[in-house]
Structure 1
Amino acid sequence: MASTTHRPSPGCATLVAHRVLPDRDEHLAAIERWLGPFLDRIDDRAERKIVRGFVTWHHLRRLRRGFPQRRSTFEQAVVVERETRVAVRMLDWLHTRGQSLAGCGQGDIDQWLAEGTSYHYSARNFVLWCVRRGHASDITIPIYVKENLRSEFVEADERWALARRLLHDDALDTVDRVAGLLLLLYAQPLARIATLTLDQLTQRVTDHGVQVRLGSKPLALPPPLGALLLDLVDRRHGRAVVGRTMELTWLLPGGAPGRPISARQLMRRLSRLGIQARLSRNTALIDLAAQLPATVLSDLLNLHTGTATAWNDVAGNTAPATPPSCPGGTPTPDPSNASRHDTMPAPHPLGRGQAARRDHRATKPQRQNRHCTTRLTTTRVGSTTDIARAPTLRTARESGRC
């Protein structure tokens, strides 16, 4: 699969950045350029129409719906290409057996899966869409069960050593330091880090503390990381020699004018520092999931509730979702307010296995009343004044780990 197919055109990106052309989703435009010539190679006109309908209504419609607030990524473009190619390959395979999409049965689909690799399971969305639209009947492709991606971690000591280096080593690039800390401490995927914008950052007027909105609720950052983010806002620039403007909203501008850095570029940069993206994210997630209920993880870290619940199970966290009232006269959040769980405890170097889960259960009472939410007056970085209800997060430095 030619992944370079969906790289945005540098010339068009430059014209868009200078407002010669209207703003557009460059990855989406690249998909559309690739799609026409590829589908023209399908001989059967009816099947060509079916595949085009699948790509248009299942994939492109959803990508277009998010623009301009949310733009498609390179990884999403790769998924569209993969599922389009595998759909055409399945149709060709059916033809070699003297079958058609409308006439094939579950036995044919099972044979298709048995003869191929896991790549053939990528036709699942196409098959389900065809059945819903009446182009096929009584066939399905099950979800491909991948290896347990929640079973591989880095050692806790290694994680905290990397976090200490990123916090205190001024010789490192600020981009690497911020991206690495958001991954190591808050389990943010690189694709999301790469597309952070200035609108997601706020700074409190009272104490100049920095908050970032990763999910539906703003998250207060520890002062060292907040200072790094502010420094990055002041110094940010991409590698593009044209199209630079202070009006760009990307926190991490990339090489193409008007575009953010790619997740793959971030992965390469962090790899050079010894940070393994997926394993580091797993370690951060099991740490946080051992301390917080799924609703909090979902709201603060932008996780699907099912994913957050699964991580709670892996971490052995069976604590009730609603935290108790704060002691000592500290204001208790209103139970009717959706932000009552906006509390993020200190990152904890949770190990693996039953010992770590026993440790989680043994220390649960000490963790339950650690922080309470308060209303804070904030000012948006580079923009207007705002008021937000922000969670509190103890830094690893305060816990003695950094």
Structure 2
Amino acid sequence: MSCGLLPEVDKHLLHVESWLQRRLAELADQDHLPVLQRFATWHQLLELRERAAYRPLAASTVVHTTQEFNRAHEFLLWLMQRHRALDRLGQDGVDLCHATHKPHEHRSLRAFLAWAMRTGRMPRRLRLPRLNRVEGRPLTQHRRLELLRRVLDEAAGPVRSRAAACLMLLYAQPANRIVRLTLDDIVHQADGQVLIRLGDPPTPVPAPFSDLLLRARAERTNMNTAANADAQWLFPGRGAGQPLHHRSLADVIRDLGIPGRAARTAALRQLVLQAPAPVIAQALGFHHKTTTRLASEAGGTWSRYAPNDHTQ
């Protein structure tokens, strides 16, 4: 909790900063240290700080960032062993690297290669091989509605789990964002309308999910300890003043039979068919590029929507 004297600092950002500092110190005798230092400082940390200013970073960000840095270090060692210079690397070298490394290593190395080309540390004319996208089985709209009906059933499980699953199925919210919701994010108006603050403006919550959400707010778990007596999290955790860990919430949603990634994609795809992608992005806290891409893939027609006053 902030006392108002100091700005809040993202704990995952602090973790990455300290890890990179230790890692760079370990590589102090390496010839390619300056390149790694610039990559870490002017690409990785700069990007993470911009993201942290927009919303809290996920715990997975730490793993992803450290993997990117380690793959970059391994790639530079690989070049050195073959007596190749980064700034003189040819297309044959890029292709050889791609052929001799595993698919997950390609993905983690991509950020460094793109940064090196963009900043002139590698020849800009090089072509990076395409990455194969690994996607799970898509969730149809019929199946999504079927899952919504299931989690609204009292017999499906605890109120907390069902409310979180509905937030995922209705509004495409990931677990790490759901756990950051507070009591103030649920607005119960005098006329009975329930709103939820996921972006700007607050989003209307339809019945019967609105009733389930109000129950989740009134029947919060992990409230019996003195440390959590004044907790404002919608999904309090066991730690003092902390929300439920996002992995724990993802597990309980999965236990209800909800495929997280597929459910979020299906929900967002349906939403961008119903309203302009930028509107959905702002209301639900997504980046407009994400919603625009999904709208295009779904064949939405809102790209031809005239941005004007249509109230008359």
> Which category describes the TM-score, using the shorter chain as reference length?
0.7 to 0.9
Q: 5 Å matches for 1:41-190? A: 41-42=26-27, 44-65=29-50, 70-118=55-103, 119-138=105-124, 140=126, 142=128, 144-147=130-133, 149=135, 152-154=138-140, 156=142, 158-169=143-154, 172-190=157-175
Counterpart AA for 1:209: Q
- CA–CA distance in structure 2, aligned partners of residues 56 and 239 of structure 1: 41
Q: Deviations over 1:90-135 (max 9, x none)?
A: 0111111012323433332221112112222422222232344444
Query: Residues 98 and 129 of structure 2 are in contact (CA less than 8 Å); yes or no, is this contact kept in structure 1?
Result: no
Q: Deviations over 1:311-360 (max 9, x none)?
A: 3344343366548xxxxxxxxxx934xxx6xxxxxxxxxxxxxxxxxxxx
- CA–CA distance in structure 2, aligned partners of residues 78 and 239 of structure 1: 31
Query: Residues 106 and 138 of structure 1 are in contact (CA less than 8 Å); yes or no, is this contact kept in structure 2?
Result: no
* Worse overlay, 35-44 or 97-106: 35-44
Higher-Rg structure is 1
- Pair 1:192-2:192 in alignment: no
- CA–CA distance in structure 1, aligned partners of residues 123 and 223 of structure 2: 51
The verdict on how the C-alpha distance between 1:304 and 1:23 changes in structure 2, with shifts beyond 3 A counting, is: closer
Q: TM-score, normalised by structure 1?
A: 0.65
Is the strand fraction higher in 1 or 2? 1
- CA–CA distance in structure 1, aligned partners of residues 88 and 241 of structure 2: 48
- CA–CA distance in structure 1, aligned partners of residues 129 and 224 of structure 2: 41
- In the other structure, the counterpart of 2:196 is 212
SS of equivalent to 1:223? coil
Q: How many residues align?
A: 310
- CA–CA distance in structure 1, aligned partners of residues 294 and 54 of structure 2: 29
Q: Deviations over 1:204-229 (max 9, x none)?
A: 23x13221132333211013322333
Counterpart AA for 1:271: R
- In the other structure, the counterpart of 1:385 is none
- Deviation of 1:258 after TM superposition, in Å, equals 3.9
- Deviation of 1:270 after TM superposition, in Å, equals 1.3
- In the other structure, the counterpart of 1:377 is none
2:308 to 330, 335, 342: 335
Counterpart AA for 1:278: R
Q: TM-score, normalised by structure 2?
A: 0.81
Counterpart AA for 1:72: L
- Pair 1:298-2:281 in alignment: yes
- Deviation of 1:89 after TM superposition, in Å, equals 0.9
Q: Deviations over 1:40-93 (max 9, x none)?
A: 333644522321332222222333345576322112112111111110110111
2:263 to 280, 295, 316: 280
Q: Deviations over 1:269-309 (max 9, x none)?
A: 11211111122223323433443343443333334434334
1:203 to 188, 193, 199: 188
| Structure 1: stretches of 5+ with no match in the other structure | 1-15, 324-333, 341-371, 373-402
SS of equivalent to 1:72? coil
Counterpart AA for 2:288: T
* Worse overlay, 218-227 or 250-259: 250-259
- CA–CA distance in structure 2, aligned partners of residues 57 and 255 of structure 1: 37
- Pair 1:267-2:250 in alignment: yes
Query: Residues 194 and 263 of structure 1 are in contact (CA less than 8 Å); yes or no, is this contact kept in structure 2?
Result: yes
Report the RMSD for the aligned CA atoms in angstroms. 3.6
- CA–CA distance in structure 2, aligned partners of residues 68 and 240 of structure 1: 33
Query: Residues 156 and 162 of structure 2 are in contact (CA less than 8 Å); yes or no, is this contact kept in structure 1?
Result: no
Query: Residues 106 and 131 of structure 2 are in contact (CA less than 8 Å); yes or no, is this contact kept in structure 1?
Result: no
- CA–CA distance in structure 2, aligned partners of residues 182 and 152 of structure 1: 19
Q: Deviations over 1:160-204 (max 9, x none)?
A: 343223223167222211111111122222332233334433232
The verdict on how the C-alpha distance between 1:196 and 1:59 changes in structure 2, with shifts beyond 3 A counting, is: farther
- CA–CA distance in structure 2, aligned partners of residues 52 and 321 of structure 1: 45
The verdict on how the C-alpha distance between 1:238 and 1:181 changes in structure 2, with shifts beyond 3 A counting, is: same
The verdict on how the C-alpha distance between 1:67 and 1:267 changes in structure 2, with shifts beyond 3 A counting, is: closer
Counterpart AA for 1:226: S
SS of equivalent to 1:162? helix
- CA–CA distance in structure 1, aligned partners of residues 120 and 224 of structure 2: 48
- Deviation of 1:140 after TM superposition, in Å, equals 4.8
Query: Residues 293 and 321 of structure 1 are in contact (CA less than 8 Å); yes or no, is this contact kept in structure 2?
Result: no
